[in-house]
C-alpha cells in the first residue's frame, strides 16, 4: 500500500505505566516471504496466517499456514483458490473463517469476494459477494452468528464508512448503520463481549490529521455506534492486535516514528494502558491473533521495506477465557436451560428480576476454554442460543453483568 510520510507534533501527555505482559519468541513461518496485507485469525486451538504479498509488491501469495501453540510449529493447509489476496477483512464464526474484499495485488484491483475456510474439512468455498463496493484494508469482526465488515478504501481513493452484516445461515449481506467516524482505511476491528470495536486508520484528508486515535463501539442490539475514549499516544494506522477477555491489545503500526508500542484497551473500564513494546525492530503490516488467553504477533516489514520473519507470543495473565473447578459447578436455580440435553440450540430463560438487564452469556468447553460469547438484550425472559457448531459434550455457561460480575452459571449438554 502506498504511503505518504508526514510529520506529527508529539503528544505532551505522560504515558501510563506499563503492565506485566511479556513477549517470547515462537517458531517462524516456513515461508518467509509473506509480509504485507496478511490475513490472520484463530479457530479453536490453532492460529492461521496467509495470503498477502512480498515487500517488493511483485509477488502475491495464496498460501495458508496453521500454527499449533502446543508444538510451536506451522503446517501448510489448503491454498486459497481465488486470485492471491492482499489485506482482506476477516472474521471467524464457529469452525469457519471468512475472508472478504481485499485487492489482488498492491495497488491492484480491489474485489467484493467473500470466501469461507472450513478448518474441519480444510476446504475453501466462495460465498455471496460483499454488498458494498470493492475495497481493501477494511475491518471485520464477528458477533454471535453474524460477521461484520466495513470501512476500507480503493487503495488511496474512495475512502469508505459504510458497514454490513453477513448471515452465514442465509448467505445474505445486509447494510447496517454506517461507521460514524471519518471514512477511513487501514483501521483495526475487534469483537468483545457481544460488541464490535473499530479504531485508528488513515483517511482522505492527507494533512496533519490524516491518521486517527479514535475508538468506536458498535452495539448490534441497537444498531448504533458510541465513541469511546481515544488512544492516548500518536495517531496510527495499519496496526495489529487481538482481543482477550475484556481487553483489546493493539499497536505496532505506522506513525511519524514507526512505533512498536503496544497498548491495552479495557472495554469495561473504557481505559488505555501501555504494555511492553513488541521486541525487535519496529515493523508493520504483520498479522496477529489470540488463542485462548494468549496473543500472537509476527512478520511484517520495517521502514526500509526489509521483511522480518519473526513471530512472538504475548501473555498478560488474562484468565477469563479459562474456567477451573469445572466439575464443582452447579446450576443456578434462577436460570432455566431447555431443552437440556440439546443439539446445540436451546433457550435460556430466567424469571428473576435480580439478573435482568443487559448481560453477557459465555460458554466454555470441558477443557475450560471459552467457545462462545453473546450479549443478551435482557436475561429476564427467553433468549435463543445457537452453539450447534460445537461438538457433542458437556459445556459450562456463565452470565456476567455489565460490570463483569458473575450472576449465573450452569451446565449444558450437547448430544448429536
- The Cβ-side half-sphere exposure at 57, using a 13 Å CA radius, reads 8
* Whether the predicted model's global pTM rises above the 0.85 cut: no
**320 lies in some domain:** no
Residues 283 and 346 in one domain: no
Do residues 238 and 215 lie in contact, with contact meaning Cβ atoms separated by under 8 Å? no
- Check which CATH number belongs to the domain holding 167 and give it: 2.120.10.80
Is the model's pLDDT at 172 over the cut of 80? Answer: yes
Is the model's pLDDT at 177 over the cut of 60? Answer: yes
**204 lies in some domain:** yes
- Predicted local confidence at residue 112, as pLDDT: 97
State which residues form the domain around 372. 326-414
Rounded to an integer, the average pLDDT of 264-268 is 92
The CB density around residue 414, as the number of other CB atoms within 10 Å, is 20
- Predicted local confidence at residue 238, as pLDDT: 75
Residues 394 and 265 in one domain: no
Rounded to an integer, the average pLDDT of 329-347 is 77
238 or 174, greater pLDDT:
174
| Residues 12-71 pLDDT 10s | 222 333 446 899 988 887 765 556 667 899 998 899 998 877 655 556 678 899 999 989
**1 lies in some domain:** no
Residues 66 and 86 in one domain: yes
355: region left, alpha or beta (phi > 0 left; psi from -120 to 50 alpha): alpha
Could you give the CA distance from residue 113 to residue 331 in angstroms, rounded to a whole number? 45
**12 lies in some domain:** no
Residues 378 and 397 in one domain: yes
Residues 292 and 339 in one domain: no
Of 45-54, 150-159, 327-336, the poorest mean pLDDT is in 327-336
Confidence band for 2, pLDDT divided at 50, 70 and 90 = very low
Domain count, the chain: 2
**16 lies in some domain:** no
Could you give the CA distance from residue 363 to residue 387 in angstroms, rounded to a whole number? 9
- Average pLDDT taken over every residue of the chain: 82
Of 149-163, 242-256, 300-314, the poorest mean pLDDT is in 300-314
**2 lies in some domain:** no
Residues 259 and 405 in one domain: no
Residues 257 and 335 in one domain: no
**237 lies in some domain:** yes
**13 lies in some domain:** no
Residues 379 and 284 in one domain: no
Residues 248 and 152 in one domain: yes
In sequence order, the 6+-apart residues with CB closer than 8 A to the CB of 291 are 42, 45, 46, 47, 69
Residues 339 and 254 in one domain: no
Is the previous residue joined to 8 through a cis bond, with omega within 30 degrees of 0?
A: no
Residues 114 and 242 in one domain: yes
Amino acid at each position: 500500500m502506498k504511503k505518504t510520510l508526514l510529520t506529527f507534533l508529539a503528544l505532551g501527555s505522560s504515558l501510563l505505566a506499563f503492565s506485566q505482559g511479556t513477549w517470547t519468541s515462537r517458531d517462524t513461518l516456513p515461508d518467509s516471504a509473506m509480509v504485507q496485507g496478511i490475513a490472520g485469525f484463530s479457530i479453536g486451538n490453532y492460529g492461521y496466517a496467509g495470503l498477502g504479498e512480498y515487500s517488493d509488491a511483485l509477488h502475491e501469495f495464496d498460501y495458508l499456514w496453521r500454527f499449533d501453540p502446543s508444538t510451536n510449529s506451522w503446517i501448510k493447509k489448503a491454498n486459497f483458490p481465488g486470485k492471491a489476496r492482499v489485506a482482506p477483512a476477516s472474521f471467524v464464526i464457529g469452525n469457519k473463517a471468512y475472508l472478504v474484499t481485499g485487492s489482488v495485488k498492491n495497488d491492484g484491483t480491489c474485489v467484493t469476494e467473500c470466501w469461507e475456510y472450513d478448518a474441519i474439512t480444510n476446504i475453501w468455498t466462495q460465498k455471496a459477494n460483499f454488498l458494498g463496493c470493492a475495497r481493501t484494508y477494511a475491518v471485520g469482526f464477528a458477533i454471535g452468528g453474524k460477521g461484520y465488515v466495513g470501512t476500507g478504501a480503493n487503495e488511496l481513493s474512495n475512502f469508505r464508512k459504510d458497514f454490513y452484516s453477513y448471515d452465514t445461515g442465509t448467505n445474505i449481506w445486509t447494510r447496517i448503520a454506517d461507521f460514524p467516524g471519518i471514512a477511513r482505511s487501514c483501521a483495526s476491528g475487534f469483537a468483545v463481549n457481544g460488541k464490535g470495536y473499530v479504531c485508528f486508520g488513515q483517511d482522505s484528508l492527507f494533512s496533519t490529521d490524516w491518521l486517527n486515535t479514535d475508538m468506536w463501539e458498535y452495539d448490534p442490539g441497537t444498531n448504533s455506534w458510541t465513541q469511546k475514549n481515544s488512544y492516548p499516544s500518536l495517531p496510527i494506522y495499519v496496526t495489529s492486535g487481538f482481543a482477550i477477555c475484556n481487553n483489546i491489545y493493539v499497536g505496532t503500526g505506522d506513525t511519524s516514528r514507526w512505533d512498536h508500542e503496544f497498548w491495552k484497551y479495557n472495554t469495561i473500564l473504557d481505559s488505555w494502558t501501555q504494555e511492553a513494546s513488541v521486541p525487535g525492530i519496529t515493523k508493520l503490516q504483520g498479522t496477529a491473533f489470540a488463542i485462548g488467553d494468549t496473543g500472537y504477533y509476527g512478520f511484517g516489514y520495517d521502514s526500509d521495506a526489509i521483511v522480518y520473519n519473526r513471530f512472538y507470543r504475548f501473555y498478560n495473565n488474562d484468565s477469563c477465557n479459562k474456567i477451573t473447578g469445572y466439575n464443582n459447578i452447579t446450576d443456578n436455580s434462577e436460570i432455566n436451560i431447555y431443552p437440556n440435553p440439546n443439539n446445540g440450540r436451546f433457550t435460556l430463560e430466567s424469571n428473576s428480576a435480580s439478573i435482568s438487564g443487559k448481560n453477557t452469556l459465555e460458554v466454555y468447553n470441558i477443557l475450560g476454554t471459552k467457545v462462545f460469547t453473546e450479549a443478551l438484550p435482557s436475561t429476564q425472559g427467553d433468549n435463543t442460543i445457537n452453539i450447534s457448531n460445537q461438538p457433542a459434550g458437556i459445556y459450562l455457561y456463565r452470565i456476567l453483568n455489565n460490570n463483569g460480575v458473575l450472576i449465573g452459571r450452569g451446565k449444558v449438554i450437547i448430544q448429536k
